[in-house]
Amino acid sequence: MKQAKASYERLLALDPARPLQFCFDQEAQQLFRAWQRELEARLRDGTLHPALVSHLSKYRSLMPALALLFELADNTSETTVSLQHAQQAGEWCSFLEAHARRIYSPAISAVRQAAAELGRHLAAGWKREEGTFTLREVCRNHWSGLNTAEILREALEILSDANWVRPVQAKVNGRPSEKYVVNPRLKEAAPCPANG
């Protein structure tokens, strides 16, 4: 309790007319660059759900902000953020990411289940003869998990990325329609990309 009180008192004593400018020390800067490279690689590798990409992209500024807060809580006599506080911030980001994954998992798994469900029907031959289908045709079947246009679009994005379907521009009764072409080489034995 005394340490927390001392931290607050140090922060209250700072002069707002003369704001401090902080930067990482050399080791902390190296750690931040390595941490940021790893984050950027994960954000761009295409394996994360768009909701998680959006969430984790905010960590670009969260990590250095946390490092600064940890530095200020421990010390206001320096204007550099130490390696120790950068490491603490990185660990906090890992902790927060684990919680974010648990929070987002119901939505993410719902989309993957929807993609797997539609993939099963496509693999079994649904619309193979016609070669194309619309969102409306999928919805009319009332298949499990494919009950909203938003989930269906995300499921189709997964199948499109795996080359099972391809979106095309189409018009129905003169109005734009979301239409998809089924890959003619799709076989019943093909493993659904959403199951991996």
Say if residue 156's pLDDT is above 90.
yes
Q: What is the pLDDT of residues 54-100, one digit of tens each?
A: 999 999 999 999 999 999 988 767 789 999 999 999 999 999 999 99
Q: Is 16 contained in some domain?
A: no
At residue 155 the predicted structure's pLDDT band, cuts being 50, 70 and 90, is very high
For residue 31, count other CB atoms closer than 10 A to its CB: 19
Say if residue 187's pLDDT is above 70.
no
* Mean pLDDT across the chain: 87
Residues 67 and 88 in one domain: yes
Q: Which of 54-68, 117-131, 161-175 has the highest mean pLDDT?
A: 54-68
Among 80, 106, 132, the domain-final residue is 106
Tell me how far apart the alpha carbons of residues 40 and 77 are, in angstroms, rounded to a whole number. 33
Q: Is 69 contained in some domain?
A: yes
Among 59, 91, 106, the domain-final residue is 106
Say if residue 195's pLDDT is above 70.
no
Q: Is 2 contained in some domain?
A: no
Find the angle CA(81)-CA(82)-CA(85) to the nearest 5 degrees: 90
pLDDT at 196: 47
In 3-state terms, what secondary structure has residue 132?
A: strand
Tell me how far apart the alpha carbons of residues 195 and 159 are, in angstroms, rounded to a whole number. 11
Contacts of residue 110, defined as CB under 8 A and 6 or more positions apart, other chains included, come to: 145, 151
Q: Is 14 contained in some domain?
A: no
**Does 54 or 109 have the greater pLDDT score?**
54
Side chain identity at residue 17, one-letter code: A
pTM of the model: 0.59
Residues 40 and 95 in one domain: yes
What is the extent of the structural domain holding 55?
22-106
Residues 29 and 72 in one domain: yes
In 3-state terms, what secondary structure has residue 66?
A: helix
Say if residue 23's pLDDT is above 90.
yes
Q: Is 161 contained in some domain?
A: yes
Tell me how far apart the alpha carbons of residues 150 and 169 are, in angstroms, rounded to a whole number. 18
Nearest to 101 by CA among 158, 48, 154: 48
Q: Is 191 contained in some domain?
A: no
pLDDT at 76: 64
Q: How many helices (H) and strands (E) does the chain have?
A: 7, 5
pLDDT at 68: 95
Q: Is 7 contained in some domain?
A: no
Our count of domains for the chain comes to 2
